[in-house]
Structure 1
Amino acid sequence: MTDAEWAIVVDLLPPPGNRAGKGGRHEKYCRRVIVDAIFYVVRGGIAWRQLPRDFPPAMTVYTIFRRWSAIGAWQVVHDALRDRVRVRAGRAPQPTAAIIDSQSIQGSDTVPAYSRGYDAGKKTNGRKRHIAVDSLGLLLTVVVTVASIQDRDSAVRLLAVMRAKFSTITFVWADGGYTGRLVVWAKHVLALTVQIVKRCDDASGFTVLPRRWVVERTYAWITKHRRCVLDYETRPDHHEAMVLLAMIFTMTRRLARDCE
């Protein structure tokens, strides 16, 4: 990270243990180096134990990543940066509309059988990540499930999590895979209007669809980080953390560039 990028992130990280009123030692390694090592794994797609020797020990870096994931630190950092990017773009911090979509990801041999499934439509054996983004393409919510689950079934959980975080959202765009009982359920239970954006039957080849292209661009941002191209995580919540880290890196670079 550059100095400008680190200045944006440093105050959002959880306080060291010795400053939480519970005693303890000072942290042995510089936080900036630890965060750089975590981003190195996310961007490069390497295994934790393949970290270069310039970084702290791999298991130390992984332990901090896991500890901060467990306390929701990555979510806090991500949400704070998203609000700043929205304000910088002239929008209110809280969105009023969202776009949802899913993406099946091939699972590596490190993904256990109990948390993976087979998506017959995409011919993918692994997991499926479901995301909700705002009109700028910034991530609002991410949920990781087995790949065999139907989009409209997993969207129940996705929309419920999104509604719990954003009471201001009233309108959601989705593709044809969400047609059916989800639209009725969202309207009566969550007070959300779900509009299905369908592809024209006469269209051939690639076609840019209204609103749906925004979430596809977000997937492009995420998959620029190689750790998110395939699923290497043993736990689904760790893959969710990887997606958050990919977006944190993207937004941090954008904010630092705007400050130059």
Structure 2
Amino acid sequence: MCKNYPSNVSKEQFENIRLILENSKKKTKPRNLDLYEVFCAVLYVLKSGCQWRMLQKDFPKWQIVYYYFQVWSKNNGKELIVLQLILKKIVIKIRVNNGRKEQNSFCIIDSQSVKNTDTTKNKGYDAGKKISGIKRHIAVDSQGLPHAIYITTAEKTDRNSAIIMIQNKKENLSAFQKIIVDAGYSGEKFASKIKEIINANVEVVKHNELHTFLVLPKRWVVERSFAWLEKCRRLWKNCERKLNTSLQIIILSFISILLKRF
């Protein structure tokens, strides 16, 4: 039995996702392991930023915890990866509980460049921000809830990466009528491509259109979503070898944050 660490979710909150986690792996015999403790162990690594091998001894063995994280992070021939399915379910449930529709009428898109550690395999250089690492691209609704997440190396442009992200998550974003972006996404080619994919209009909010120093209208929402990720020390730098692992860690971070709203 693990201790009650601050990173843990309650057992009542865990019940919202237990069934999905249990069905992610076929059982050939009765499971003696408590998936709640495994999930809390993964959250401990995420929140504390420690290595898998440094996991506290009252959790299940780190090899088992890491194995389950891999199971939840891989496709395995299914339409959605387990963690992606969980996040989608949580986002919809939170919106419905708040009296909103399952999808918003507009979303806000932005990217964040993050430094790599020496263990990472995929690297790029963002000349604008002078950062060697990766880029996190997210599309959030008016509440800051994520509807699309995409990871690239840092040299990839915001416009091209946003187009690929929207194309990959076309079904999730099909109800959006407006995409709000900053000046880094300006251009008729980008706007026409978005219109072609999901039939949404692009609204560009620029600093030079504001007469005083203010937070860009509506765009503070996506900045707040990035700030949520800073609560997880594992995300202060990108220490994952593969881009897909970096993606699943971000998805897991949103899951851990949003689960505590139940």
- After TM superposition, is the score higher than 0.5? yes
Is 1:90 matched up with 2:94? Answer: no
2 CA distance for matches of 1:91 and 1:18? 36
* Corresponding position of 1:110: 119
Output the CA distance in 2 between the equivalents of 1:92 and 1:201.
Answer: 32
Aligned length: 248
Equivalent residue for 2:49, pick from 36, 45, 50: 45
Structure 1 residues 202 and 186: alpha-carbon distance in aligned structure 2, compared to 1, 3 A threshold: closer
**1:16–1:27 contact (8 Å) kept in structure 2:** no
SS at match of 1:230: coil
Structure 1 Cα separation of the partners of residues 205 and 22 of structure 2: 40
Q: Does 1:141 align with 2:145?
A: no
Letter in 2 for 1:25: K
Q: Report the 3-state secondary structure (helix = DSSP H, G, I; strand = E; otherwise coil) of the residue aligned with 1:141.
A: strand
- Distance across 2 between alignment mates of 1:3 and 1:26: 21
Give the equivalent residue in structure 2 for 1:30.
34
8 Å CA contact 2:167, 2:197 repeated in 1 = no
Q: Which residue of the partner structure matches residue 6 of structure 2?
A: none
What does residue 223 of structure 1 align with?
230
Q: Could you list the runs of 5+ residues in structure 1 that have no partner in the other structure? A: 256-260
What's the CA shift string for 1:62-100, capped at 9, x where partnerless?
A: 111011110300011111111111011110112221110
1:247 and 2:254 are equivalent in the alignment: yes
Determine whether 1:3 maps to 2:11.
yes
- The structure that is helix-richer by fraction is 1
Aligned-residue offset at 1:14? 3.9
| Residue aligning to 1:163 | 170
Q: Which amino acid aligns with 1:178?
A: Y
Structure 1 SS opposite 2:16: helix
Q: Which runs of 5+ in 2 are unaligned?
A: 1-8, 76-80
Post-superposition offset of 1:45: 1.0
The residue type equivalent to 2:178 in the other structure is F
In the alignment, structure 1 residue 64 sits paired with structure 2 residue 83: no
- My pick for the range that moved more, 8-17 or 141-150, is 8-17
In 1, the alpha carbon distance for the partners of 2:61 and 2:131 equals 34
Distance 1:158 1:14 in 2: 29
* 1:190 CA drift (Å): 3.2
Q: Equivalent residues in 2 for 1:166-245 (5 A)? A: 166-180=173-187, 181-200=189-208, 207-245=214-252
Give the alignment's Cα RMSD to 1 decimal: 1.6
Output the CA distance in 2 between the equivalents of 1:152 and 1:123. Answer: 18
1:159-178 per-position Cα deviation (integer Å, ceiling 9, x unaligned): 21232333211211001000
TM-score, with structure 2 as normaliser: 0.89
Residue 173 of structure 2 contacts residue 198 of structure 2 at CA under 8 Å; is this kept in 1? Answer: no
Query: For the residues of structure 1 that align with 2:181 and 2:222, how far apart are their CA atoms?
Result: 10
* Deviation, structure 1 residue 28: 4.0
Superposed CA offset, 1:213-248 (max 9, x none): 000000011111111121111111111111111111
Q: CA deviation at 1:203?
A: 5.3
- Residues 176 and 198 of structure 1 are in contact (CA less than 8 Å); yes or no, is this contact kept in structure 2? yes
SS in 2 for 1:254: coil
